[in-house]
Structure 1
């Protein structure tokens, strides 16, 4: 009935089993844990080994490990029972198996052992769980093919297991756990039937193996195995399934199958071997595509991450963003995040690869599908609750203009609500700025902004697009911005936010404002981590000239000035700047094909051709926010030789909220005032401005001087924004109050901008981007300069007239006249009449204005009467006669 531990019985394995063992032996090197497992066993008690998988390879490895350790053979009969082998497996594989009967479950074998013990109270069996891992967690230096067959959570077939043994067999671990006395376990279980006891032991053993596997090779990230069931069994999802079944009069089972299909459409299926293999492929891919990928401030991001659920929120400028960030994180030894991707990328062949790389897919809209919305929300909650790092793009899509887009806060709201349900692990949002020197999608972006429809993603389109691999795309920078902790933002919003608890449907009043502030702060922090590359600097300079051309000497001077501006007036300590000198920047731009040199006896000229200039506007817009303050100050001297310092500051503070909303600038109004002061001082040091009257009056030189030219180049980066603002104001003024909805105004502005672009010098494609007009109109509404009446039409007050008047300081008369002439609305009038047409009485106020609003408006009106009218008069006095040079 018992076996001696001193002289283990010989194996009774069949001849073919022993032959396979000899053939496999040279390919497998075992490491036992513990090294002497015999010390764990109780002498004289029969041993039954339990392994996870029922396969011939695991049996061969177990038999060899037992033989080398002096343990009883698993291939001998189990004493006291009718079992022919002293081993049983909890799970089956698709390969060769130990016994003849594949249909017998582990519960049957455990039940058989239990009944044998009940028949003989003096008998016992010690259960020894044995975990076997072939090629566990290969290092980053392992070959990519070996990684494909490393140990993971997936049960594989016999052929794949054979390849794993041949490739990774010399890294095999056999881990023996402490034995469990089946007699003692039966006594502890009490009076329960053998079948139920067998199920309980099998369940305990499965949990044990999962814990050991997680400790050895990492947590199970195969979501189709661990998350799908959790989502479908969650109370909100079960309720949604029941509601769907009732509403559509279908069975619960059919509704459940629909929910499961939706869940499988969404869920990632992360695979470490696929990620590691993809890293090898991408390494070669990036080497062919880019000249280098740089990460800045990553050490700060890594230091901040421990203990947090990390949500990466990068800028979105290219399809390459997904792969670049994941690749760089993996190469740096950080867990690859699970990435929210549009369902349009779930293409044949590509979709499954992305899914195994950690992508989970979402539809563009959740409207009309309540079950889908509930399932996706629950899936996000499961990821966050499990501490899985996540990545998503809050812009909702790729930027076609190079600017950060207005955020879409859907995924942010889901993240915040998931944390409120179970605030066990604090959430950290990690902004990432991704900067390119050339984009694969550049030409398609320009086409879309010009009115061409967006091409739908398809496998054929992807194959056709492979021709882009023949080009070089320069360098890429990934700059990690200042991280944002969620908990302090919640504390500031409500001291009782923890009381929301586990209610998945809770939507406290303050939730919307928290999400909006969070979204804006993420965009601000992305911009605060900008990388300024040579192409950005060339775009800032050359696009400021009518023909996108500049003499080499002037371009060298302008590049040096731009670098000095960014260095001496730092936007943020996370902004990075190219180390190239101006001459090197020009040479690099020629090498990249962005500019060409026109030789001339009086000095070479550098030119960006029309097509290249349109594409360069993207890279100018990447860094527009860095020079916004300087551009505003310079704009004040486009049409004025002289202005008071106070006027520049006061006007700047008025216009700032609109610039801030468009460019996600980081300062409050007072902070922007300080930036303007520092910028004026910089211009004075550089000789671009001169001061008189104890520094109160600022003056630029005549138009033919280099200083005036340099100021003009700096100013041009913002003038198109002011032209868009004026188009909006002119459309409102010409049509009058109570005549247009916000959508009609937006459409009128877009058409006006398109026509103006055709009639004047070529403008950047984003000049007539609807989103920019929409953002400006929304900001007017937020500041209560414009509001909606009961009929849904726009109304406004005298504040609009003052904005029209202020525009005269910045925009030349011919520009204003052109805009007024082509803006759809009332009959053409004289400029003065048009600029003040249809304005309501000065006491007009929004219908829902509070007493505080009324008081603020009276103060603002008084302020404007005493400040801004003199400014306009001063500007008119300072400016040269219309149509003449100020030289």
Structure 2
């Protein structure tokens, strides 16, 4: 090898004067962000460094030299030690000339050949290749001009003039990504006796794949050409078979059937456009700034760390039309690829539809029934996205929640996702749950109207224009909480050991697929709830809606808010639940600022109230976090109509009711876990003085009705009491009509009518009280537990266990509520629910129809005497749970 003097090396290290001058001219226009911030830690000391950039360009060389200088890395413009190369950098794609205005590219085989040759015969010599990706204007901010968006980074290899404009417009948003170095000596040794030419091609291919993956991670996959995806769908074997079947069934030509399939896939497919995504993100920056006071993301770093190497499927809760816009915007601004989003075809409106489509939306019809060709085409399109590694987003609830609760999942998209993965399990699927929490909803009034019986207003361009008036209001803060991700592979392993063999049969529908899909759907909903964000409006709703007139004295409200925060802090529901840092006084002030509550001044102390129309809307935000309060609410419910109960009775009844509230609220515990939570909650109430524990911890007693502790327990209990009233309505309607009388649908209708009438008579502010879906879910759970089943005629039959549930209901629901339900519930004239006295001696609960201060005090001594007799006669038996009366359903 030719020797070179140190003087010659020093001379050659100096870049040409015009190169240095260009660097100085460019410096004010370019601001570099290195990723990682300290790339020197990646390098191996004492080993020659050669940088590899994706595209050849004068500006890229200038940016690379400056980034290396600022990071303290070897100069890329110096000669490469041990070789004849004049620079320590080369590009994978190099421009060598121009033909009719279009640049020709030459592969980097020659530089790689030189590097490989330099290692031959010198076993102690090594070169570390450092791939460096340079992106100019990846994500313009809201302070950037819209014109800059057009010159942001994309997949097209642009010419020198366009690159110059990009630097002038977006140079201050330049990212230089240093990847981990690759030892050329190690790769060469591992290749064995591979031909040098073949080895060179292999290294070039590996580097191209690496740059492609990094670029896809930073600016999204190269899906600019919609045609390629459409062609892949139409050429897939399942679609070709469906086209042939459609032609035969409809007696049309093969060509006409193909055109029909082509029209369907064009209706479905996204037309992803990087310039549109960047343009929309630029416009949304100003839109969010006008609409919200802030958008926060929690646990996003955990989600980003889990994503590499997976096919990521985002599965957020669905509460507003802004959900998917917020998700896409926040992901884009955080440097993550915008997912392709499954949108209802009702959103494919003029003007709006094409923009959504170019932002990554693909459209689906509400039902696939009666259209086999559409079903096959849609399934194949989704499979193509998954096969190409495109991140996807869809809402498994199927539609927006009108109540604030998570809806029962609709598993159609989940089934298609799992089957697409089973067909080609190249990249493991990762479901990423996301909780989206608002402080005010644009659709709030329409939701309340729909729950009250008004028809849903169809989406239209005119309706959208009318809805622009929402920009006049402020909607507080928004939180996006990323829940614990769910890997599909472990769940598949649990379902079937041989699931990997199903790829040979694309039409396979294993027996375990339905059960697996239900388990995945339930896990997603549970993990969404486990990532809840508790904002000030949630806490105000929990407290104020629990009072008859939705009003509280300020001192009581402050105490209740402090109790709610303490409960969430001392008994955390999950490590991903976030809680507002505001203190109780700050929460009240914020509620007034957001116009959710009003202050009524009074000489004896101010009162905070909620207007009737606001109370209906506020119930939505109470329901957002109802699951976090479920355990405490159940314990408190046990003492609504009881002064004293045994700890074992609270636990026993909790075990009975838990499967139903677990199904309704997607709670995370099994039966034993729920019992542990109940014990911890009881201990919390005892520590706070809301309950007193006697009899070696076996007996629990609350204070008299007029006491502050009893008032706080009652406020907590009322957040869940309507669920038990719905359960009682269902059982009453079923038993009052008798077995073999009602179908499931008829029972749902009877329950809904009863709840509506009860709501009118009692002025309930929660329209979800008569939501048919909640009754349907409870009836379904009764079926699953074989308490209720369908006979041969399609009518419902039931077991005697319903009688026990009725007796237990007396411990929770007051006599007045139960009698109102029994009176209103429709039933057959031949079958009625009789009310009889049960020989239960020594009731331990005060009649609820008496005033609290009178009934508690007047009967307290009798309760103590009765409990004492019970203990003295059977000391080993827990205290019997009493009820306010002895009604029974027979």
TM-score by length of 1: 0.76
For 2:546, the equivalent position in structure 1 comes to: 544
Which residue does the alignment assign to 1:400?
A: 402
Superimposed CA distance per residue, residues 647-693 of structure 1 (whole angstroms, 9 cap, x where no aligned partner)? 01000000000000000000001111111100100010011111111
Q: Which residue of 2 aligns with 1:754?
A: 756
Q: 1:350 maps to which residue?
A: 352
> What is the CA distance between 1:225 and its match in structure 2?
2.9
Aligned residue number for residue 708 of structure 1: 710
Q: Which residue in 2 is equivalent to 1:367? A: 369
Structure 1 contact 223–268 (Cα < 8 Å) conserved: no
Of the three residues 564, 568, 585, the one matched with 2:570 is: 568
Kindly provide the CA deviation profile for residues 505-532 of structure 1, in whole angstroms up to 9, marking residues without a partner as x.
1110111111000000000000000000
Which of 834, 839, 844 is the aligned partner of 1:877?
844
Cα 1:696–1:824 change in 2 (3 A) is same
Deviation at 1:226, TM superposition (A): 2.3
Count of aligned positions: 709
Q: Secondary structure in 2 aligned to 1:717? A: coil
Map 1:178-577 → 2, pairs under 5 A: 214=212, 218=216, 219-222=221-224, 224-577=226-579
Listed as ranges, the gaps of 5+ residues in structure 2 are 1-28, 30-55, 62-75, 86-93, 106-132, 172-204, 857-890
Q: Distance in 1 between matches of 2:134 and 2:697?
A: 77
Whether the aligned pair in 2 keeps the contact of 1:535 and 1:619 (CA below 8 Å) is yes
C-alpha spacing 1:798/1:569, structure 2 compared with 1 (3 Å): same
Instruction: Find the partner of 2:719 among 717, 720, 724.
Output: 717
Deviation of 1:592 after TM superposition, in Å, equals: 0.2
Deviation at 1:696, TM superposition (A): 0.5
Deviations 1:11-68 (A, max 9, x none): xxxxxxxxxxxxxxxx9985589999xx99xxxxxxxx99999864x36x99xxxxxx
Aligned counterparts of 2:793 and 2:816: Cα–Cα separation in 1: 36
The offset of 1:475, in angstroms, is 0.4
Structure 1: segments with no counterpart, 5+ residues: 1-26, 41-48, 63-132, 173-206, 836-868
Residues 619, 330 of structure 1: CA spacing in aligned structure 2 closer, same or farther, 3 A cutoff?
same
User: 1:451 & 1:477 partners in 2: Cα distance?
Assistant: 30
Give CA deviations for 1:359-382 in whole Å, capped at 9, x if unaligned.
111111011110111011111111
> Secondary structure of 1:877's partner?
coil
Instruction: Give the deviation of 1:278 after TM superposition.
Output: 1.2
Q: Which residue of 2 aligns with 1:591?
A: 593
Query: Paired residue for 1:739, among 721, 727, 741?
Result: 741
- In the aligned structure 1, how far is the partner of 2:245 from the partner of 2:255? 13
* Cα deviation 1:403-459 (Å, max 9, x = unaligned): 000000010111111111111111111100000000000000000000001100011
Equivalent residue for 1:812, pick from 814, 823, 827: 814
Name the residue aligned to 2:801: 799
Counterpart in the other structure of 2:635? 633
1:810 alignment partner, SS class: coil
For 1:497 and 1:52, how far apart are their aligned partners in 2? 53
Is the 1:134–1:168 contact (alpha carbons within 8 Å) kept by the matching residues of 2?
no
Whether the 8 Å CA contact 2:148–2:169 is kept in 1: the answer is no
> For residues 170 and 144 of structure 1, do their structure 2 counterparts lie closer, same or farther at Cα, with a shift above 3 Å needed?
closer
Instruction: Verify the 8 A CA contact 1:733 1:834 in the aligned structure 2.
Output: no
TM-fit CA distance, 1:228: 0.7
Distance 1:450 1:875 in 2: 44
Partner deviation per Cα, 1:769-820 (whole Å, 9 max, x = no partner):
0000000000000000000000000000101111111111110001100100
Deviations 1:468-525 (A, max 9, x none): 0110000000001011000000101111111112322111011111100000000000
Q: Quick one: structure 1 residues 564 and 211, their matched pair in 2 at CA, closer, same or farther if it must change by over 3 Å?
A: closer
Equivalent position SS for 1:558: helix
SS of structure 1 residue aligned to 2:327: helix
**Distance in 2, Cα, partners of 1:135 & 1:599:** 59
Secondary structure at the aligned position of 2:318 is classed as: coil
Indicate the larger mover: 163-172 or 496-505. 163-172
- Give, in whole Å, the separation in 2 of the partners of 1:618 and 1:875: 42
Q: Is the 8 A contact 1:135 1:164 kept in 2?
A: no
Who is 2:728 aligned against?
726
For 1:414 and 1:30, the matched residues in 2 are separated by 48
2:124 matched residue in structure 1: none
TM-score normalized with structure 2 length = 0.75
What's the Cα RMSD here?
A: 3.2
- Aligned pair in 2 of structure 1 residues 325, 880: CA closer, same or farther (>3 Å)? same
349 and 607 in structure 1: CA distance in 2 versus 1, 3 angstrom threshold: same
Partner SS, residue 227 of structure 1: helix
Judged with a 3 Å threshold, the aligned counterparts in structure 2 of structure 1 residues 164 and 829 are, in CA distance, closer, same or farther, namely same
Tell me if structure 1 keeps the 8 A contact 2:742–2:796: yes
> Deviations for 1:193-212, whole angstroms, at most 9, x for unmatched residues?
xxxxxxxxxxxxxx999989
Structure number with larger C-alpha Rg: 1
Paired with 1:359 and 1:52, the residues of 2 have a C-alpha distance of 39
